Structure 1
Amino acid sequence: MQAFAGTSFDSLDSYALTELPVPEPGPGQVRLRVAATALGYVDGLMAQGRYQIKPPLPYVPGGEIAGVLEAVGAGVSTLAVGDRVVTWQLGGGMADCVVVDAADVDGVPGDLPLPVAAAMLVDYQTAHFTLFERGRLTATDRVLVLGAAGGVGAAAVALAARAGAFVIAAAGADDKRQAARALGAQATVDYRQPDWREALKACAPGGAVDVVVDPVGGDAFEPAFRSLAKDGRHLVLGFAGGAIGRLPANLALLKNADLLGVDVRHFLATQPERARQVRGSLFRRVRDGVLPPPGMTRFTLAQAADALRATLSRERRGKVVVVPQGGVADTGRLA
């Protein structure tokens, strides 16, 4: 099989398409023929050794994987060859096939295209966990979504809007803000502008927000927190802006506000059945047209290095998805 494998974390130049033996599933494992692998910001960091977790070498990037089962190991009774599935791993997806534990696999509804399932697997679950588990979102809340054109940001806009909240999307480019409006945002702001907080006050009902969804950090962090109403919740998902924001502690006291970390992997580890139920519900809502499918920028496996570079670019549009050449044909209706 072909795999995009790296022998060091020095740079993406250390990676190349390589012929590797087809792996065989052991007891309790399954082998997927990969149909699509979605990539996020973390994948770009991990492939270059810049993430807090450093996987062993040689390393095959890509963890948000969708495909079709082509082999099952001993003891696997709930899955069968031909099943359409997704799984979230720390890597292995930028290859023709991958072996994973059967317990880490979820089924995909028949009418949901596998690239869509891969693209929404992590971002939609993260956005849902952020808003409803950590953020305690209600229909009366005013929500500011930073990085609203990113994978998690766009999913948060769509989910919050459909929950009845007033959504303000923050993004730097006009086309990104227009895309957020199409997802359901009632207002937008350009947070690259020095007076963006004044623009936020002007469009937010009452001049403040109740919830901040923040996967960006950096210079937007403190102004966003200062924009909270009393009893507001600022949800920290990451630092795609490149810098870890800082905050005077007295602001939390003055606002009577919560600064909340969002670790979706902790949710998956401690509440696996609840997380599985949420994933299934999100898949069905996209299949049924209740939620919009994620925007995608597609690459082939031969373009794997460009795909990883795109994860770190502020200019990308939609979720980066890698589709192996000659891979699984998928006929879902949402492509």
Structure 2
Amino acid sequence: MKAVLVENYDNIGNIPIKEVARPELSAGMVRVRIQAAAVGFVDGLKVQGLYQTKDPLPFTPGSEFAGIVDEAAADVKDFAPGTPVIGMVINGGLAEYICVPAGDLFVTPKGIEPEVGASFFANYLTALYALSARGKLQRGETLLVLGAAGGVGIAAVQVGKLLGARVIAATSTEEKRKFAINHGADAGLDYTGEGWRDELKELTGGQGADVIYDPVGGDLSLQAFRSIAWNGRHLVIGFASGTIPALRFNLPLLKGGALLGVDLAQIGRREPEVRDQVIAQLFTWLSEKTLVPVVGKVFAFEEFHEAFKAMTTRSALGKMVVRIG
């Protein structure tokens, strides 16, 4: 089979597609013929060896995928060949086949195309878990989403609206603000401008944001926390800016604010019941078409380099997806 193969940590442009052995089944596993896989910011870091944990070489990047069950081990039930599934793993998604534990797979809700399924899991699971379980976002509260037009941010915009919040989308361009507003944001602001905190203050009646959803990091995070409402919650999702900010501890004291970390990789292990509840809610929204996940751009398998490049540009809107099947 064909797979993207990282044999040395390197720039994505130097990573090839190679012929590798099709993965063999073992107890508790399901082999999936992949139809589409998503490309995320973490994948880009892993390929270069820049993520906080390093995947052992060689490895195939890609943690989110959608496909069709090829075969299940004899001890696995409920995953007959031909069943459409979506899954999330540590790596392996950018390949024609993958073997995963049955517990990491979910039957795709009816009417969901592979490209949508592949782009759905990490962003929307993170958004709902962060906003509901960690941030305790309440109906009528104000949610500020940093980097609101990217795959992670636009998911928070949509989920925040479904939870009844007033959503302010912070982006770097007018095009991105229009994109976020078209997907449910109530207002947008330009966080590259010097007066953006004054604009936020005006938009919130001087109160600041009740919840801040932050996948960006850097100085923007520090400035956003300075504009948090009393008893506000700042959700740390990631550091797309490439810089991890250092927060002075007097700020949470003065603002009465809480800094809360959200690590998707640990949810299933540490809070499996919460994860299952969140997934059940997301699948209900999907089935009802209440939630329509945003797919950014779809690339052919041979164009996977371009998907990674597009993901890192300031013009990226939504999640990048690679069609494999």
User: TM class by shorter-chain length?
Assistant: over 0.9
Q: What pairs with 1:297-308 in structure 2 (closer than 5 Å)? A: 297-308=297-308
**What is the aligned partner in structure 1 of residue 265 from structure 2?**
265
1:220-250 superposed Cα distances (whole Å, 9 cap, x missing partner): 1121111111111111111111211222211
Tell me the residue number matched to 1:214. Answer: 214
Deviation at 1:207, TM superposition (A): 4.0
Q: Out of 201-210 and 295-304, give the one that drifted further.
A: 201-210
Distance 1:12 1:118 in 2: 20
Give the aligned partner of residue 332 of structure 1.
none
- 2:45 matched to 1:21? no
Q: CA–CA distance in 2 between the matches of 1:263 and 1:17?
A: 30
Q: Aligned-pair distance for 1:13? A: 4.3
SS in 2 for 1:115: helix
Q: Distance in 2 between matches of 1:221 and 1:4?
A: 34
Deviation at 1:155, TM superposition (A): 0.9
Instruction: Say which SS state the counterpart of residue 175 (structure 1) adopts.
Output: helix
* Cα deviation digits, residues 238-287 of structure 1 (max 9, x gap): 11112112222111111111111111222221222431332233133134
Counterpart of 1:88? 88
Q: Residue 6 of structure 1 contacts residue 14 of structure 1 at CA under 8 Å; is this kept in 2?
A: no
Residues 290-301 of structure 1 mapped to structure 2, 5 A cutoff: 290-301=290-301
Kindly state the Cα deviation for residue 204 of structure 1 after the two structures are TM-superposed: 1.7
Inter-partner Cα distance in structure 2 for 1:30 and 1:305: 28
The one-letter code sitting in structure 2 at the alignment partner of 1:84 is P
Is 2:200 the partner of 1:200? yes
Alignment partner, residue 37 of structure 1: 37
| Rounded Cα–Cα distance in structure 2 between residues aligned with 1:153 and 1:80 | 35
Task: Indicate conservation of the 8 Å contact 2:115/2:295, yes or no.
Answer: no
Does structure 1 retain, via aligned residues, the 8 Å contact 2:217–2:242?
yes
* Corresponding letter in the other structure for 1:225: F
User: Mean Cα displacement is larger for which, 307-316 or 3-12?
Assistant: 307-316
- Is contact 1:221-1:246 (8 Å) kept? no
TM-score computed with the length of structure 1 as normaliser = 0.93
Counterpart residue number, 1:5: 5
Distance in 2 (alpha carbons) for counterparts of 1:151 and 1:211: 19
Cα-to-partner distance string for 1:181-230 (whole Å, 9 max, x where unaligned): 11221111000111111111121234411111111111211211111111
Give, as a single letter, the amino acid of the residue that structure 1 aligns with 2:230. Answer: K
Calculate the TM-score normalised by the size of structure 2: 0.96
RMSD between aligned alpha carbons? 1.4
In 2, the alpha carbon distance for the partners of 1:264 and 1:13 equals 27
Does 1:129 pair with 2:129? yes
How do residues 51-130 of structure 1 correspond to structure 2 at under 5 angstroms? 51-130=51-130
- The answer to whether 1:183 aligns with 2:183 is yes
Q: CA deviation at 1:309?
A: 2.4
Work out the CA distance in 1 between the residues paired with 2:72 and 2:195: 57
Deviation at 1:115, TM superposition (A): 1.4
User: For residue 331 of structure 1, what is the aligned residue in structure 2?
Assistant: none
Partner amino acid for 1:315? S
Is contact 2:143-2:160 (8 Å) kept? yes
DSSP 3-state at the match of 2:120 = helix
Alignment of 1:224-303 (within 5 A): 224-303=224-303
Distance 2:19 2:298 in 1: 23
| Deviation sequence 1:113-164 (CA, Å, 0-9, x none) | 1211110111000000110011001012111110101112111111111222
Q: Which residues of structure 2 form unaligned runs of 5+?
A: none
- Number of matched pairs: 325
3-state secondary structure, aligned to 2:317: coil
Aligned to 1:333: none
Report SS of the residue matched to 2:210.
strand
The correspondence of residues 311-326 of structure 1 with structure 2, limited to 5 A, is 311-324=311-324
* 2: CA distance, partners of 1:236 / 1:174: 25
SS state at 1:276 partner: helix
**Is 2:63–2:88's contact at 8 Å kept on the other side of the alignment?**
yes
Give the counterpart letter for 1:196 in structure 2. Answer: W
Assess if the C-alpha contact under 8 Å between 2:168 and 2:185 holds in 1.
yes
